[in-house]
Amino acid sequence: MLLKVLLFFIAFLVGADELMLGPILIPIGNDLGVEPERVTLFITAYSVALAIVAPTLGALSDRLGRLKVMLPAAILFGAASISTGMVDTFEWGLTTRVLTGLASAGMLPIAFAMAADDSGADAMKRIAWVQAGLTLGMISSPAVGAVLAQWLSWRAAFIVLGVCAWCVAVALAVLSAHKASMEDAAQQPMDKLNQQPEDQTSIAQGQSIKIWAIPGAAGALLAMCFGLGGGIGLFNLVGQHLRDTLDMPMWAVGSLYAALGVISVIGNMLMPRVVGHFESGRQVMRVALFVCLVVSVGFYAYPAESWTIVLLPLALWSMAGGIGSPALQSYIAELSAAHRGVLMSMGMTMMHIGVAIWSGIAGFAYSFGPTGMAMLAILLFGAAIVVLRPIKKNSR
């Protein structure tokens, strides 16, 4: 139970860090003497660092053990976050954000891999729990960051985040010490965390392979880029579309995003039950992608006359994403137990690359009106559905 809670909070911290900046760009810019739009480089620096180093740390966790990577990463995350809250120049802020991204690369993807190191239904439940922590962190952090900035300072938001990370690091250290004291590793499921699991693929033990050569890996990783990364890029413009077409006030858009986030969390927790009715998480993700494709095209191509009309379609979009995202993570985790860490980390890298690329392209497509957004939705979700096609049984 302790592990499950820790994995939830690790994902929560990373999710909170990724979206907390939104409402506090102006006070950060004013304090550091730069334009608010330049502060968005904090997000870029973080994401690029995470995307570059995640596969390396994932592979390291496969060889050395999950906790041996996650514990120092949590310590660095805390130090980097607190340092961000204490910087006096924009350049030092960028440096601390790079360090935070490096630390996150050793936390979130490793948390997913650690959750999947269990077997069967327990693994899927843990993956769902980690995804729920990530989603909850994302939807709650903008409000928390804004409140702390209003009451104290924008610096307080980062310092609180760093202190929480250090608390998690202490708990991880306790868990690591407890694992080290176990006498019979074979009878303790926890011991799987620091052991290299047996490879469940047809690849011979000890053979060096290319991750992309693992059957199903290429399609799943590309789906992380097109389906999840692209989906986030499309979903981020939902609020702008509602303001432009229905003149929806800012507070209402914010409330809608929060409600849709809650629906996504519910979808995260429902994932294990849903996957139980399908062949694998791959099939679940394909169904979810189809729902997202239909809803997103309808939402952007056919503007509604009232915001109440779009509530049900947007709820379906959020629910499908909430179920499909952890389902895809569980599928990736099953592709190769011996290379699970690097696979999960590469998935995070592909998703962040997708967010960076497709968010920019979505902004460009938005300038072409409903047709541009509908065509982009068809391209992204359609491509993800295609690359997730079933694997031939004779694939090697």
Q: 177 to each of 168, 181, 314, 386, how far by Cα in Å?
A: 14, 6, 46, 46
pLDDT digits (tens, 9 = 90+) for 286-319: 999 999 999 999 988 887 777 678 788 999 999 9
H helices of 181-310, in order, are: 217-223, 230-235, 238-246, 250-275, 281-301
Residue 44 neighbours by CB distance under 10 Å: 14
How far from chain centre, in Å, is Cα 355?
Answer: 10
**132 and 277 in a common domain:** no
Among the candidates 161, 194, 227, a domain finishes at: 194
Q: Answer yes or no: is 201 within a domain.
A: no
How would residue 51 be classed by pLDDT, with cut points 50, 70 and 90?
confident
What's the pLDDT score for residue 148? 79
pLDDT, one tens digit per residue, over 75-113 is 999 999 999 999 989 889 889 999 999 999 889 888 888
Same domain, 75 and 116: yes
Domain membership flag for residue 236: yes
Tally the residues of the chain: 396
Q: Which of 6, 54, 323, 14 is nearest to 138 (CA)?
A: 14
Look at residue 293 and tell me if it is in a domain: yes
- Same domain flag for 218 and 120: no
Domain end, chosen from 128, 163, 194, is at 194
Chosen domain end from 166, 194, 222: 194
Q: At 168, is the secondary structure helix, strand, or coil?
A: helix
Indicate whether 21 and 156 sit together in one domain: yes
- Tell me the three state secondary structure of residue 390: coil
Integer angstrom CA distances of residue 391 from 139, 284, 285 = 35, 15, 15
The CATH number that applies at residue 368 is 1.20.1250.20
Q: Per-residue pLDDT tens for 229-261?
A: 888 888 878 877 888 887 877 677 777 778 888
Query: DSSP letters along 328-379, please?
Result: HHHHHHHH-STTHHHHHHHHHHHHHHHHHHHHHHHHHHHTT-HHHHHHHHHH
Burial class (CB in 10 A: 0-12, 13-18, 19+), 308: exposed
How does residue 393 score in pLDDT terms, banded at 50, 70 and 90? low
Encode pLDDT of 328-378 as tens digits: 988 998 888 888 888 888 888 898 888 878 877 888 888 888 889 999 999
pLDDT, position 289: 95
How many beta carbons lie within 10 A of that of residue 379, not counting itself?
16
pLDDT of residue 80: 95
170 and 251 share one domain: no
Q: How far apart are CA 317 and CA 297, in angstroms?
A: 11
- Please indicate, yes or no, whether residues 28 and 136 belong to a single structural domain of this protein: yes
| pLDDT > 70? residue 214 | yes
- My answer on whether 356 and 271 are in the same domain is yes
Residues 21 and 146 reside in one and the same domain: yes
pTM here is 0.77
Q: Is residue 336 part of a domain?
A: yes
Query: What is the end-to-end Cα distance of the chain in Å, rounded?
Result: 38
Q: Are residues 185 and 76 in the same domain?
A: yes
> Distance between CA 114 and CA 312 in Å, rounded?
35
Q: Are residues 372 and 324 in the same domain?
A: yes
**Banded pLDDT at 22 (limits 50, 70, 90):** low
Q: Based on the fold, state whether residues 371 and 259 are members of the same structural domain.
A: yes
Q: Are 347 and 220 in contact (CB under 8 A)?
A: yes
Does any domain span residue 14?
yes
Cβ contact 371:301 at 8 Å: yes
CA distances from 146 to 28, 140, 204, 360 (A): 12, 10, 52, 25
Q: Are residues 268 and 140 part of one domain?
A: no
Note whether residue 206 is domain-resident.
Answer: no
- Any domain includes 333: yes
CB hemisphere CA count around 378 (13 angstroms): 10
List the domain range (segments joined by +) for residue 71.
2-194
Please name the residue that has the structure tokens 């309808």.
Answer: 298
Name every residue whose Cβ is closer than 8 Å to that of residue 179 and which is 6 or more positions away in sequence: 67, 188, 190, 191, 193, 194
- Give the count of domains, the chain: 2
- The rounded Cα 209 to chain-centroid distance in angstroms is 26
In a domain, 375, yes or no: yes
**Of 265, 86, 81, 98, the residue nearest 167 (C-alpha):** 81
